[in-house]
């Protein structure tokens, strides 16, 4: 299986950003561990703070990869464009969040991704990403 993990704005600061909420592992430490744990899965990663770059990456991989694991971060709650991009592609998307967005501010309760996602996994810390990978391995 060929999977693309796409992370949105500020997730490059994972490990130093609000560690009580998002954990103390950096994105690269986490991804190295995940790749080592699933050696037979092709796991690629893209992070950007720029909305249009996220849309371009979704379009680029969205017809050939087996799955996209998308944490659009703050753009989850604002981006009609990312929501539309997911509608436009054929690769299934699993939306993930590190934190339980429903236990947080009201503005984090709405997602432009969720209506077009295969499923949503949130609130399990970095393990949310691993659960999303597993979801693609069992189908
Ligand atoms: C987040 C939740 C978003 O509301 C927030 O803007 C983030 C991270 C998460 O993974 O918990 O940047 O997507």
Confidence of residue 57 (pLDDT cuts 50, 70, 90): very high
* Residue 94 reports pLDDT greater than 90: yes
Q: Residue whose CA is closest, atom 1 of ligand 1? A: 73
Q: Which of 22, 65, 75, 129 is catalytic?
A: 22
42 Cβ partners below 8 Å, 6+ apart? 1, 2, 3
Residue 19: pLDDT band by 50, 70, 90 thresholds? confident
Domain residue spans of the chain: 2-137
> Is residue 45 over pLDDT 90?
yes
- List all residues 6 or more positions away from 76 whose beta carbon is below 8 Å from its beta carbon: 8, 82, 95, 97, 101, 108, 111, 112, 113
The reported pTM is: 0.95
CATH of domain 2-137: 3.40.50.9100
Instruction: Pick 28 or 50 by higher pLDDT.
Output: 50
Q: What local confidence, expressed as pLDDT, does residue 16 receive?
A: 84
C-alpha 71 to ligand 1 mean position (Å)? 7
């Amino acid at each position: 299986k060929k999977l693309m993990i796409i992370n949105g704005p500020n997730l490059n600061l994972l490990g130093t950003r609000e560690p009580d909420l998002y954990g103390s592992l950096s994105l690269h430490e986490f991804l190295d561990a995940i790749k080592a744990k699933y050696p037979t899965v092709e796991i690629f990663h893209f992070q950007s703070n720029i909305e249009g770059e996220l849309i371009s990456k979704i379009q680029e991989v969205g017809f050939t990869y087996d799955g996209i694991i998308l944490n659009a971060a703050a753009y989850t709650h604002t981006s009609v464009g990312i929501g539309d991009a997911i509608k436009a592609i054929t690769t299934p998307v699993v939306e993930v969040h590190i934190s339980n967005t429903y236990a947080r501010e009201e503005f984090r309760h709405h997602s432009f991704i969720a209506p077009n996602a295969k499923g949503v996994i949130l609130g399990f810390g970095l393990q949310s990403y691993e659960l999303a990978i597993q979801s693609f391995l069992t189908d």
